[in-house]
Structure 1
Amino acid sequence: MALISSAYDNRRGSVVVETDKGVLLVSSSGGYYRLPGGKPKKGEASIQTAIRELREETGLRAYYVNYLFKFHASKIFKIRAKGIPTPSNEIHHFAYYKPGKEMDVKVSYNTRKILSKYYGLEEAEAKS
């Protein structure tokens, strides 16, 4: 059985952006949805990558950034951002994830794992 590689297997900065609708997900083709993010440019830190990719993919401007955790080779950040998501050259589709709500789009396996871990952290913080 061959393993299918994931975007999260490579070094990248990925972003959790919570909105009233849920966590923002992006897709270039309308196929599988994932968190905004991407690969770093030469010499770029993961946090810089996350902020840049969010802007490039969605048009959103970050005003608060918090490191959450590492998933495979990716660093996951929570970002609060201003603006309205707008399609770009790379990203043409947006969706929103809320725990317990049925999704009418396909969310990548690793994105679901990241979201589970994220919501587990949120629940732990709420209890403390």
Structure 2
Amino acid sequence: MIRCVDTFSEIPTIYPNGVFDLARWRAYAQNHFGENISLFEDDMNECLATGSYTFERDYLPVLQAVWQHPWLEEMHQSFLAVVKGLSERLAQKFGNDLDVEKDWQSYLDALNSMDLEGYVALQQKAYDAYQESFG
């Protein structure tokens, strides 16, 4: 079953003095995802291993831009609106054992009824503004 957790209030602990701290992020991720934390770091480490990317040049600026983005609170509120009652609605629609492969169109219809399109549009707007500012 899908589990959505609002951890927005914990994010400031990852940015002591307004600067992203990877060790604190690892503690945060470990707390919420346990052993699955490697899912998040494996892709990044694979990219870094190519030598074409660095954490400081390619990842850190994006993390900082998200934290400092003027629409951060608005994006959080949009997230809350999209996921409000999500688990209950999905369980009601599909039962407690959601099988996305079994009924993909019904799943998409359920997501569309939650204004997911509006949420994605807001995320795209924020990304586009970031691209204009930081290219």
Q: TM-score, normalised by structure 2?
A: 0.27
Greater strand content = 1
Greater helix content = 2
Q: TM-score, normalised by structure 1?
A: 0.28
Looking at CA atoms only, which structure, 1 or 2, has the larger radius of gyration? 2
